[in-house]
Amino acid sequence: MRRWRLVAAAALTVAAATAVTITALPASAETAAFTVVSSWSNGYQGEVAVRNNTASTINTWRVELTLPAGTTIANSWNATSSASGSTYTFTPAGHNGTIAAGASTTFGFVANGTGRPTACTINGASCGGTTTPPSSQPPSSTPPSSGTPVGINGQLRVCGVNLCNQYGKAIQLRGMSTHGLQWFAKCYNSASLDALAGDWQADLLRIAMYVQESGYETNPSGFTSQVNNLVDQAEARGLYAVIDFHTLTPGDPTYNLDRAKTFFQSVSARNAAKKNVIYEIANEPNGVSWATIKNYAEQVIPVIRANDPDAVIIVGTRGWSSLGVSDGSSSAEIIANPVRAQNIMYAFHFYAASHKDNYRAEVQKAAASLPLFVSEFGTVSATGGGAVDLSSSTAWIDLLDQLKISYANWTYSDAGEGSAAFRSGTCNGSTYAGTGVLSESGAFVRSRIRTADNFPTS
């Protein structure tokens, strides 16, 4: 059921925290503002915004950053870089050299080492300023406005087979899943998340943190920080955040049991006071029995509950979270032997061009007995690619709407696959709203998500 989703570009291991602008040029010239987007124990992710404050278009720019001894730049994007000693020079990548009057562009980089720039110039003029590292403490929680999904529904819970809001009423959440954070971090910025909340009118963001495939196991603290930042970004926009421990290969979740306990202890302690967090503890178990998955869940759930007794937890199911159908089984094994825990739901994943009537029939049957959450689905084949199957996708979403089953679509990215919501190259720019930047899949899913929510309060 699962596709191999590795991109050809170099994998970047980055992590996010509160952004802090720390240097800028005087007004009335081209300016450059350096921001620490994220930091971890032995590095950080930086971003530089180049703005044209003149009255005329500029056709090129050059930013030079000098770093202290022991800090180097490992990777960069949206710029061409070169190094001379400890000074790094950044020039346009090609698509972002021309900047209209009053407009701006950005580029980013990953630094090995913790030293911030000691000197900065743009087009030969000094940037000046001093650096301030971002706080390692979680930002204070700001309640979302009353009209947002979180503002209306508050703390969620499972009631019967439904996901229910703070008023005990059954609701359906609709939204998007990120792609792997190690590959597509640049797709998850203020502009794209504003578009998801405002233009798409989504209810949730699923944060897909791969464990293997150059993910969490390579930098646990960095990826944990990145997940926490996206939880905060979702909260600020009134969106629910599904923290997805994205296990895929190997398919036995117990392989990552110790990592899962460490990760969920950290994120549940940090985010326990938030109302917008849902935990997904194993993305797509495969090649193992339901008994193995259940045993894993019953060891991880208490770790979360020790910190966060109220949050909804999603448990993966057999056969790539197909309720066992892809393994020739069915939901009957779960109904006969459910996880011994409260306030949990069971994951179901589908890809519309590959999974059709027999999968839909199983969901319809299982939904009468089990609380289901479609934490990932695609409009294309199980490879993540191929043509969009509009007929099957429509049948699926109609069924989920009918049953009030929440869903997240794969994937809110510009990956080179049919499931990507954005056209290739979109994440190199700054425009995410509207249909002009969307793929066929993105345009279809956006149109379904934008239909009015039904969030009863009485």
Report yes or no on 131 lying in a domain: no
Annotate 156-191 with DSSP letters as a single string. -EEETTEEE-TTS-EE--EEEE---HHHHGGG-SHH
Answer whether 442's CB lies under 8 Å from 450's CB.
no
Read off the pTM.
Answer: 0.74
Q: Which of 42, 370, 76, 374 is nearest to 225 (CA)?
A: 42
What is the distance between the alpha carbons of residues 348 and 376, in angstroms, rounded to a whole number?
7
CB atoms within 10 A of CB 397: 23
In this structure, what token pair is assigned to residue 407? 């869903």
Report the pLDDT value the prediction gives residue 38, as an integer from 0 to 100.
67
Annotate 101-164 with DSSP letters as a single string. TT-EEEEEEEEESSPPPSEEEETTEE------PPPSSPPPP-PPPTTSHHHHH-S-EEETTEEE
> In 3-state terms, the chain is what percent helix, strand and coil (to 5)?
30, 25, 45
Report yes or no on 225 lying in a domain: yes
Contacts of 232 (CB under 8 A, 6+ apart): 18, 138, 139
Q: Residue 77: pLDDT above 90?
A: no
In this structure, what token pair is assigned to residue 410? 């794969």
Contacts of 420 (CB under 8 A, 6+ apart): 179, 411, 413, 414, 439, 441, 442
In this structure, what token pair is assigned to residue 259? 């990592």
Report yes or no on 231 lying in a domain: yes
Q: For the chain, what percent of residues have pLDDT higher than 70?
A: 87
In this structure, what token pair is assigned to residue 342? 């409260």
What is the distance between the alpha carbons of residues 32 and 25, in angstroms, rounded to a whole number?
6
What is the distance between the alpha carbons of residues 102 and 139, in angstroms, rounded to a whole number?
31
Position 234, amino acid: A
Question: How much is the average pLDDT of 6-23?
Answer: 34
Longest dimension (CA), the chain: 71
Give the domain-ending residue among 69, 91, 126.
126
Report the pLDDT value the prediction gives residue 74, as an integer from 0 to 100.
80
Q: What is the phi/psi pair of residue 41, to 5°?
A: -65, -30
In this structure, what token pair is assigned to residue 131? 């650096």
Report the pLDDT value the prediction gives residue 105, as an integer from 0 to 100.
79
Position 311, amino acid: A
Give the domain-ending residue among 71, 95, 126.
126
Q: Could you read off the pLDDT of 211-227 as tens digits, one per residue? A: 999 999 999 999 999 99
Same-domain pairing of 69 and 173: no
Report yes or no on 142 lying in a domain: no
Bridge pairing between strands 43-52 and 104-112: antiparallel
Report the pLDDT value the prediction gives residue 383, as an integer from 0 to 100.
92
Report the pLDDT value the prediction gives residue 127, as an integer from 0 to 100.
60
Same-domain pairing of 388 and 420: yes
Q: Could you read off the pLDDT of 122-142 as tens digits, one per residue? A: 888 766 433 333 333 444 344
CB atoms within 10 A of CB 133: 13
**Residue 159, strand partner residues:** 162
Same-domain pairing of 83 and 208: no
Question: How much is the average pLDDT of 238-243?
Answer: 97
Q: Residue 200: pLDDT above 70?
A: yes
Q: Could you read off the pLDDT of 26-54 as tens digits, one per residue? A: 333 567 778 887 666 677 878 888 888 77
Report the pLDDT value the prediction gives residue 58, as an integer from 0 to 100.
85
pLDDT band at 11 (very low <50, low <70, confident <90, very high): very low
Q: Which of 107-111, 290-294, 320-324, 352-356 has the lowest mean pLDDT?
A: 107-111
DSSP code for 254: G
Same-domain pairing of 225 and 359: yes
* Residues forming the active site: 284, 376
Same-domain pairing of 231 and 351: yes
Report yes or no on 133 lying in a domain: no
Q: Residue 344: pLDDT above 90?
A: yes
Report yes or no on 9 lying in a domain: no
The rounded mean pLDDT for the chain is 88
Report the pLDDT value the prediction gives residue 103, as an integer from 0 to 100.
77
Report the pLDDT value the prediction gives residue 319, as an integer from 0 to 100.
98
Segments forming the whole domain that contains residue 404: 149-449
What is the distance between the alpha carbons of residues 66 and 44, in angstroms, rounded to a whole number?
15
Phi-psi region of 70 (alpha: psi -120 to 50; beta: other; left: phi over 0): left
pLDDT band at 15 (very low <50, low <70, confident <90, very high): very low
Answer whether 184's CB lies under 8 Å from 415's CB.
yes
Q: Could you read off the pLDDT of 351-402 as tens digits, one per residue? A: 999 999 999 999 999 999 999 999 999 999 999 999 999 999 999 999 999 9
Same-domain pairing of 375 and 250: yes
Report yes or no on 15 lying in a domain: no
Same-domain pairing of 200 and 315: yes
Report yes or no on 4 lying in a domain: no
Helix and strand counts by DSSP (H, E) for the chain: 11, 21
Bridge pairing between strands 174-177 and 407-410: parallel
Answer whether 183's CB lies under 8 Å from 7's CB.
yes
Structural domains counted in the chain: 2
